[in-house]
């Protein structure tokens, strides 16, 4: 790979240039245009980008799934508050028959197992929602916060762009910036391991 191509393709994705935010490389302590060799150029670019893209996609999916998670939490809470009707054995001619070995035929046992799984899932959803809420608090810009909240409410990009009074391309820039900030807040430790 030639130097110009490396400067154009790798330097913008390098943390040494603040992810392309400046033309000055902190690693080489020089302007990017004067650099002739860099250890980052020797690395396979897909090794660095794949985990970052994955983290950004997971963050965006968490934001989009916010309404689903809230609805699922409501459903799980209602289920767990119920008494679990229909879990006792029915008495009939086959109820006293021997059962196969190593198989549980107790419906109460299955209901307890199911409730434990549902309780664990509810706790996971609550944890994810708290994390998203904490990450949302990181956004200081009102437009970024509004864009993310509108995405969480399920609005489409055109409607959000009209709502905040910007073009669709500007909306995508705001969304990209907000998701990057939230990804840093949600997955900061993972990002440190990647960069």
Rounded Cα gap, residues 55 and 48, in angstroms: 12
30-31 and 24-25: which strand pairing?
antiparallel
pLDDT tens-digit readout, 36-83 = 777 776 765 555 556 778 888 888 999 999 999 999 999 999 988 876
Rounded Cα gap, residues 186 and 131, in angstroms: 7
Query: What pLDDT shows up at residue 187?
Result: 82
**What residue spans of 43-92 are helical by DSSP H?**
45-64, 66-81
Q: What are the φ and ψ backbone dihedral angles of 30, each rounded to 5 degrees?
A: -155, 160
Rounded Cα gap, residues 54 and 45, in angstroms: 14
Residue among 120, 118, 133 at smallest CA distance from 66: 133
| Burial degree of 164 (CB within 10 A; 0-12, 13-18, 19+) | middle
Question: pTM for the complete prediction?
Answer: 0.60
Give 49 or 144, the one with higher predicted confidence: 144
Mean pLDDT of the chain: 80
Query: What pLDDT shows up at residue 158?
Result: 93
Query: What pLDDT shows up at residue 161?
Result: 94
Residue % of the chain over a pLDDT of 70: 73
Query: What pLDDT shows up at residue 18?
Result: 63
Residue among 169, 191, 85, 121 at smallest CA distance from 160: 169
For 6, the token pair is: 């490396």
Query: What pLDDT shows up at residue 177?
Result: 92
**Angle 163-168-172 from CA coordinates, rounded to 5°:** 100
Which of 28-32, 52-56, 163-167 has the highest mean predicted lDDT (pLDDT)?
A: 163-167
Query: What pLDDT shows up at residue 195?
Result: 52
């Amino acid at each position: 790979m030639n130097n110009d191509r490396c400067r154009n393709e790798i330097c913008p994705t390098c943390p040494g240039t603040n992810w392309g935010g400046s033309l000055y490389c902190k690693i080489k302590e020089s302007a990017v245009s004067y650099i002739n060799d860099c250890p980052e150029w020797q690395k396979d670019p897909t090794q660095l980008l794949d985990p970052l893209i994955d983290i950004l996609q997971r963050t965006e999916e968490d934001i989009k799934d916010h309404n689903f998670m809230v609805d699922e939490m409501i459903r799980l809470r209602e289920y767990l508050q119920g008494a679990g009707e229909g879990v006792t054995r029915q008495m009939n001619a086959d109820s006293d028959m021997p059962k196969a070995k190593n198989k549980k035929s107790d419906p109460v046992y299955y209901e307890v197992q199911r409730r434990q799984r549902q309780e664990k899932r509810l706790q996971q959803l609550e944890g994810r929602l708290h994390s998203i809420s904490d990450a949302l608090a990181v956004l200081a810009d009102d437009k970024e916060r509004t864009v993310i909240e509108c995405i969480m409410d399920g609005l489409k990009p055109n409607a959000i762009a009209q709502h905040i009074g910007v073009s669709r391309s500007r909306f995508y820039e705001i969304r990209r910036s907000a998701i990057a900030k939230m990804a840093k807040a949600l997955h900061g430790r993972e990002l440190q391991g990647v960069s």
